[in-house]
Chain A
Amino acid sequence: MMKDFAMHIMDIVQNSISAGASQISVTITESEADDSLKLVIADNGKGIPAAMLEKVTDPYTTSRTTRKVGLGLPLLKQHAESTGGHLSIASEEGKGTVAEASFGLSHLDRQPLGDVAGTIVLLAAANPERRFIYRHTTPYGSYTFDTDEVNAELDGMSISEAPVIRFLREMIEENLKEIKISG
């Protein structure tokens, strides 16, 4: 099962990758004022056909051919709803898909964020041809990680090199600490 948000992110972003997205953004917004945590994953992939869109949170719906069940979105939905939140998915064929999940920030059933920094960096390293944008906002500030900026700084060196991966993970972790993200 998905033990934290990092696992959900790794999972749902794979959908964007399968949809051929060249740009994927992951946005987390924490609000103490409305006790909410929002996770939005948006891509510019091929989109979900309208008939499929109604059924994407049904476990017996999947676009894969290796097996007949798909649990990624159903698990995210279950997690969101168990904390008093919800999951909504908007998609347009040829334009992309946006999955938005909301959670009760202080709800007991809200799982921890987990290793979001490591997950984003692994995704970027495994898919160097795609652009990843991760933005995290808390009442204390906002941090944005953008692989386009990373690649500009790397100037020809690969984002998939182990020392680069290690550095980027530490850099994101330190910046997230600065804006005091939740556990």
Chain B
Amino acid sequence: MGQVKSLADLRKIKENQQGKMSLREKSNNPESLVQVRVAMATCGIASGAKQVMDFFIEEFDKRNIQAVVTQTGCMGYCFAEPTVEVTLPGKEPVVFGYVDAKKADDIIEKYVKNGELVEGIIPVNYETIEKK
């Protein structure tokens, strides 16, 4: 039996990470990073949004893509959960529906890396009539 991990062991992680750009530095100019927001309301959670969020965090790290993964509330597309909003640097946000690990992989490989659109985009009209 190994010893149970404690916060003191975080130091090793910290040493390993040194030299890499920290997320805090990244968040100073989030516009230069890929931003992923996973809808995490009751509808999203019940459809597996947590697994999708786990997947994005792990895979961005493994594939060495600088990204910020956060959560958002219900975007109103409960029928298409889990939904994620992906914002590439300098681009308008794009919302993808019915996201699972396979779709998330497609989003990273095609949209995030190459800007190619993948199936499952939910057309979003951010400029509502009231705002115009």
Task: State whether B76 touches A126 (Cβ < 8 A).
Answer: no
- The interface residues of chain A lying within 8 Å CB-to-CB of B107 are none
- The interface residues of chain A lying within 8 Å CB-to-CB of B41 are 11, 14, 64, 72
Q: Given A154-B10, A167-B10, A162–B24 Cβ distance below 8 Å? A: no
Pick from A79-87, A96-104, A169-177 the stretch touching chain B.
Answer: A169-177
Please report which residues of chain A, range 145-183, place their CB below 8 angstroms from some CB of chain B when the two chains form the complex: 149-150, 153-158, 160-167, 170-171, 174-175, 178
Q: How far is the CB of B102 from chain A (nearest CB, A)?
A: 20
The number of residues on chain B lying at the interface, defined by a beta carbon within 8 Å of a beta carbon of chain A, is 38
Q: A-side binding surface: helix, strand, loop or mixed?
A: helix
Q: B-side binding surface: helix, strand, loop or mixed?
A: helix
Please report which residues of chain A, range 1-59, place their CB below 8 angstroms from some CB of chain B when the two chains form the complex: 1-2, 6-7, 10-11, 14, 17-18
Which of B4, B43, B57, B73 contacts A18, CB < 8 Å?
B73
Chain B residues within 8 Å of A, Cβ to Cβ: 4-11, 13-14, 16-17, 22-24, 27, 40-43, 45-46, 50, 53-54, 57-58, 60-61, 68-71, 73-76, 78
